[in-house]
Structure 1
Amino acid sequence: MTRAVVVEQTGGPEQLKIVDVKVGEPGPGEIRIRHQAVGLNFIDVYHRTGLYPLPLPATIGGEGAGIVEAVGEGVSFLKAGDRAAYASNTPGSYADVRVMPAKHVVKLPDAIDFDTAAAMMLKGLTAQYLLKRSSMGQLQRGDQILFHAAAGGVGLIACQWAKALGYEVIGTAGSEEKCALAKANGAAHAINYSKEDFLARVKEISGGKGVKVVYDSVGKDTWDKSLDCLRPLGIMVSFGNSSGPVPPFSPAILGPKGSLFVTRQTLFSHIAVRETLQAMADDLFEAVTSGKVKIHIAQRYPLDQVQQAHRDLEARKTTGSTILTL
């Protein structure tokens, strides 16, 4: 038996219940992992509320790090005793122990501790595909990009990595403190969108031209102005909707705005092939161990405080990465 956070019906943080569940042996292509730390992400909120529906009851959470306890038939790249970490589209990390598909799991370098790994896998792999795979090869050193929620878990990683790649980052955040954090982590400019019109500031910073790429995980509240921040042939990369889903829109509006490209990205499309996941993870590990990217764990909650962790996340009280400790 093990502790797990279960959602029996969708709703608010009060629906997160800690229960004892039975954990069996891994089947073919699976492993059993004992978590040392678990990551908290906004997709967990979407699963809890039902925005991204799961069969209920469900154990949520898609990011964790720990020690492999057992491997199933056909798993040759991991063994019992390995330090490991993952980002997975098979939820279930909010637990002391779980059985899961091995294809989502990678060995963890000795230089990276469990807390850091749990805080960086989903967010860091997201930053990797955003900066290196989703812009269709259009970015070059010196290009300006706009990154919303720049002081969040993905944002702080992306700002540092983008600066290392030579891009000029314009970040947005909801407070002066968060703007200062974004600038301290690589953003050349930071806009407090609770006080400033970010569209006007982006136009000012870019000399009226607009930016080449906008990375938007906020959704409804930033969408329309974000499109107008783009230069002709610019790319809108949508990868989340923390303020709510983007309303339906006609593709015909993209032509007059400069023949814009719009793409809705998810990490799990990029890591569906194990070899690609490993290559992306290796790139992330190198960025962290080389010091190009530092992982900021700004909040730690024991597993039994998971409801409060979700409340703080939704209230935008968090910065950087958040982990659940076990």
Structure 2
Amino acid sequence: MPLEIANINKSFGRTPVLKKVSLFAEDGEFLALLGPSGSGKTTLLRIIAGLETPDAGAVRFQNEDLLAQPVRQRRIGFVFQHYALFRHMTAAQNVAFGINAKPRSERPSRRETRERVSELLNLVQLGGLENRYPSQLSGGQRQRVALARALAIEPRILLLDEPFGALDAKVRRELRRWLRDLHERTGLTTIFVTHDQEEALDLADRIALLRDGALEQVGTPEELYHEPDSAFVFEFLGDSVRLPCTVQGGVAIIGGAPAPILGANPGDGHAFAYARPDAFNVVSGSGPGLAAHVRNVILAGPDARLDCAIDGDGAIDVRIPAEEAAKFSPRDNIRLTPRTVRVWR
């Protein structure tokens, strides 16, 4: 397989950062490393790039031992979160930097370099801006220059360390679509670090979710979202509601009402049920279900969010169609019943 990461351990002092992480990426795959801050995502990326050395384990690419190779020989493109562009260089000079840094025997001619730089700037939709300095470019444009610079060395692997982290939400969404299209055109094996669940679900062919330096689950976005292995995966991959329940006879009893259990059944007894905010039936008045009252109704296009206070303790948000939300007003007494839940202890 093209990229194999086997039993990687890494500690900084006495603090373990990666714990026996084993992972692979297929040729041309877009793999997202997802997880909260401190989960080890960037450290793993830097080990692949050669910027950090693991305490144990192996990294192989097309059966080559990457850990035995100097950084220059690995031919890995790396894009940092904060661009790392040279402020005194134009966009074209920044892109050409990696090419000009090659040994003289491997360096193309000036004409070939100019053609390569022009081709890359057009690829990242910056044709005509080659003479602008980073201070004359927007954040999104600077990140595209950084991507073009990473591609200039003709990498075998492209590594992206939260490349959109410094950009506003609208620009991030625009660049996500553009990056996926760029990936399809280049066909490079790409590893993308993010803590943004939406980015990972939107971009990746597969997601590796890390927690405290260990892999929690690896799979396609659909697998992680619809078939989570743990409560951590369920809660991290989207909005969720956590409710105490009693498992009895293969169903979860919540507020006196039964809810079918998806996935593994932990057996009878007390547990916690997890549901998505849009997986609730909401009815007025008394009866079976979780007793609550409406605190606020927030309309957002075709959907609405009900801010609900649970009688006794706590509050949850549920999402329902806007036309259904029109039936409810603040202070209304309601009953909430999840249509399906996943249960863990």
State the TM-score bracket (shorter-chain normalisation).
under 0.3
Normalising by structure 1, we get a TM-score of: 0.26
Normalising by structure 2, we get a TM-score of: 0.25
Larger-gyration structure (1/2): 2
More strand by share: 2
